[in-house]
């Protein structure tokens, strides 16, 4: 038992760092899934777009911060394509997302290859550790990953993003996006261009997802074309875990924050089951089960309330 | 002035389910006209309204509002000129947004939207004043989510929203049909008040013949996608439900539904 907690304790900083990085991704998914009510599957690939672009830029000696910004922009492009497929070509949300996701897989290979003719499934950043934002020199002067630095940077970044989102969704355009996600008929009757709002929201959403992917490739020191597989499930898990645990707190800031906290808790759960002895091969199945259960919670609660109501009715 | 000329709308054209919803229909609404529209199910009342609002495009013809052709504009662009209230009280408001946020969305109908605050302090004052006239106590609940309100309350807010920026035309699509009789009466009274206050050109679809007679200065009856009866002024004021029934039978109308007869 002691060994279990010692092992888990060792993993805590890494878990926290990973949770915060994926928290950025959860924020992005919150935009599409919750605010726009659009189940956007683009994210599985736009995560790798961000990660891959950031990695290739770093190998080309681009400033890592600029690489992050460009990754954000690349994610926006990907989201924009899904948005246009949905709004202009009337392809249903899920299918539009899947199409972009599939197409992006090839694009990501070329991005990582660094050109139209070249493609590469992964990029190690071992030789560029000095350039990464999450590393610092050790006693020998060699740059290694610095958990404390990672946690501080990511926590500040998450706080800043929540603040920006709070501001943005209080503006006229932000309100128009919320109205679009809430009631499209009403939004159009209020002269809101719902198509533009959808495209804009999907762009911002995938921008954040790609930023998260870029941060993740800097954190783990490599990018891989499959790094985003299942990202949507992890993002959803974060949002739902946050909702279930912190749902009683109201207000926009709290709901965004609970998505980030949900992400941290998700990685904590993963750390625990791995320490217990679950094989990493089985993680995806485990994640899917966790999300299925979490998604079922609201429906179960409703059913339970209904049964309770029926019973109390009978007694009366 | 709204000029609808020779519009046709066929749903599922070329299939066994083909339905001519609007058949070569022309009508002119003069400024300040308050027109009530009645007719059986499938007569094309709501379709006509949706064609004006741009929910779906017309097949042929033209729709011009104050000289501007509307028929090629998308729904959201037409909304700059149109105020709309739907039959379903859930449709006119955003349930997960606050009352003041909903009103602020309506306050920006027809205006550009940028990165300024979505609801300003000054607007909140205006909204409070406007809400207090409803007599529903909503002015003290401006930060409540609209989803917590009753159908009648939501419909009253939707009406307010439709007229917050004066529309060139107000479209009411059976907006009291889903409400209980007492609430329906209140919402109708509020409609009447807002229409006369802003002297709005209005089209009101209704199932209730008495309401159609009692309100407005003009009444049209539709059947099978055409206007079969159009009466205004003094003649309209003398109308009775029996007159309407006779007109309906004369035109060989399909069965008028029970709901219209009973009310």
Domains in chain A: boundaries: 2-227
Residue B204 contacts residue B38 (beta carbons within 8 Å): no
Chain A partners within 8 Å of B101 (Cβ): 175, 178
Chain B partners within 8 Å of A189 (Cβ): 53, 75, 79, 82, 84, 92, 109, 162
Of all residues in chain B, the one with the smallest CA distance to A194 is B76
What is each CA distance from A264 to A22, A221, A242, B58, B97, in whole angstroms? Answer: 8, 20, 9, 53, 29
Q: Convert B234-261 to b/e letters by CB count within 10 Å (16 or more is b).
A: eebeebeeeebeebbeebebeebeeebe
ipTM of this complex prediction, to 2 decimal places: 0.92
Chain B partners within 8 Å of A183 (Cβ): 90-91, 93-95
User: Among B53, B110, B114, whose Cβ lies nearest the Cβ of A172?
Assistant: B114
User: Among B53, B75, B94, whose Cβ lies nearest the Cβ of A183?
Assistant: B94
Of all residues in chain B, the one with the smallest CA distance to A36 is B96
Q: How many CB atoms lie within 10 A of CB B73?
A: 16
Of all residues in chain A, the one with the smallest CA distance to B143 is A251
Task: Report d(CA B96, CA B100) in Å as an integer.
Answer: 12
CB interface of B with A, residues 112-151, below 8 Å: 113-119
Shortest distance between the Cα of B234 and any Cα of chain A, in A, equals: 34
Tell me if B104 and A175 make a contact (CB, 8 A cut-off).
yes
Cβ–Cβ contact B64 with A under 8 A: no
Tell me if A176 and B113 make a contact (CB, 8 A cut-off).
yes
* Mean pLDDT of successive 10-residue stretches along chain A, which has 316 residues: 83 94 97 96 97 97 97 98 98 97 97 92 93 91 91 97 97 98 96 98 98 97 94 92 86 94 94 90 88 82 80 62
Tell me if B76 and A194 make a contact (CB, 8 A cut-off).
yes
Tens digit of pLDDT at every position of chain B (263 positions): 999 999 999 999 999 999 999 999 999 999 999 999 999 888 999 999 999 999 999 999 999 999 999 999 999 999 999 999 999 999 999 999 999 999 999 999 999 999 999 999 999 999 999 999 898 999 999 999 999 999 999 999 999 999 999 999 999 999 999 999 999 999 999 999 999 999 999 999 998 999 999 999 999 999 999 999 999 989 998 999 989 888 888 776 555 554 455 44
Residue A99 contacts residue A84 (beta carbons within 8 Å): no
Residue B71's region, left for phi above 0, alpha for psi from -120 to 50, else beta, is: alpha
Cβ–Cβ contact B94 with A under 8 A: yes
Q: What pLDDT does A292 receive? A: 87
Q: What pLDDT does B263 receive? A: 45
User: Among A171, A173, A179, whose Cβ lies nearest the Cβ of B94?
Assistant: A179
Q: What pLDDT does A315 receive? A: 55
Q: What pLDDT does B255 receive? A: 54
Q: What pLDDT does B262 receive? A: 47
């Amino acid at each position: 038992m002691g060994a279990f907690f010692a092992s888990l304790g060792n993993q805590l900083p890494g878990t926290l760092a990973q949770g915060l990085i994926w928290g950025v991704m959860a924020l992005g998914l919150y935009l599409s899934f919750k605010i726009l009510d659009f189940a956007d599957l683009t994210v599985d690939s736009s995560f790798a777009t961000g990660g891959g672009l950031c990695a290739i830029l770093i190998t080309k000696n681009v400033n890592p911060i600029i690489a992050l910004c460009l990754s954000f922009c690349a994610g926006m492009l990907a989201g924009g394509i899904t948005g246009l497929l949905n709004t202009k070509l009337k392809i249903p949300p899920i299918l539009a997302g899947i199409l972009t996701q599939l197409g992006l897989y090839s694009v990501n290979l070329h991005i990582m290859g660094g050109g139209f003719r070249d493609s590469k499934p992964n990029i190690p950043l071992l030789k560029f550790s000095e350039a990464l934002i999450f590393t610092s020199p050790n006693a020998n002067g060699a740059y290694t990953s610095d958990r404390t630095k990672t946690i501080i940077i990511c926590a500040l970044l998450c706080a800043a993003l929540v603040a920006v989102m709070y501001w943005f969704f209080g503006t006229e355009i932000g309100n128009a996006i919320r109205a679009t996600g809430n009631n499209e008929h009403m939004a159009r009757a209020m002269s809101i261009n719902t198509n533009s709002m959808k495209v804009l929201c999907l762009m911002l959403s995938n921008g954040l997802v790609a930023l998260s992917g870029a941060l993740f490739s800097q954190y783990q020191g490599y990018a891989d074309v499959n790094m985003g597989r299942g990202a949507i499930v992890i993002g959803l898990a974060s949002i739902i875990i946050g909702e279930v645990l912190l749902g009683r707190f109201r207000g926009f800031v709290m709901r965004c924050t609970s998505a980030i906290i949900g992400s941290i808790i998700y990685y904590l759960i993963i750390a625990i089951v791995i320490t217990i002895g679950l094989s990493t091969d089985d993680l995806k199945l485990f994640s899917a089960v966790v999300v299925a259960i979490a998604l079922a919670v609201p429906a179960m609660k409703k059913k339970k309330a209904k049964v309770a109501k029926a019973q109390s009715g009978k007694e009366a | 002035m709204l000029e609808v000329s020779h519009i046709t709308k066929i749903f599922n054209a070329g299939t066994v389910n083909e339905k001519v919803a609007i058949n070569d229909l022309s009508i002119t609404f003069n400024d300040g006209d308050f027109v009530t529209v009645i007719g059986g199910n499938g007569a094309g009342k709501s379709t006509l309204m949706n064609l004006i609002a741009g929910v779906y495009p017309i097949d042929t013809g033209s729709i011009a509002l104050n000289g501007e052709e509307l028929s090629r504009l998308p729904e959201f662009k037409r909304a700059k000129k149109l105020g709309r209230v739907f039959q379903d009280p859930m449709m006119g408001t955003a349930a997960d947004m606050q009352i003041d946020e909903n009103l602020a969305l309506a306050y920006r109908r027809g205006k550009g939207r940028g990165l300024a605050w979505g609801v300003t302090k000054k607007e909140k004052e205006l909204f409070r004043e406007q809400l207090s006239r409803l007599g529903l106590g909503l002015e003290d609940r401006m930060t409540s989510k609209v989803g917590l309100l009753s159908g009648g309350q939501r419909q009253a807010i939707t009406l307010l929203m439709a007229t917050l920026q004066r529309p060139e035309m107000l479209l009411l699509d059976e907006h009291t049909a889903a409400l209980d009789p007492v609430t329906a009466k209140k919402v109708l009274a509020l409609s009447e008040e807002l229409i006369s206050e802003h002297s709005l050109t209005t089209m009101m679809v209704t199932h209730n013949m008495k309401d159609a007679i009692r309100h407005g200065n003009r009444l049209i009856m539709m059947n099978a996608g055409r206007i079969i009866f159009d009466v205004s002024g003094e003649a309209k004021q003398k109308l009775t439900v029996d007159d309407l029934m006779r007109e309906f039978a004369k035109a060989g109308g399909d069965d008028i539904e029970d709901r219209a007869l009973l009310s």
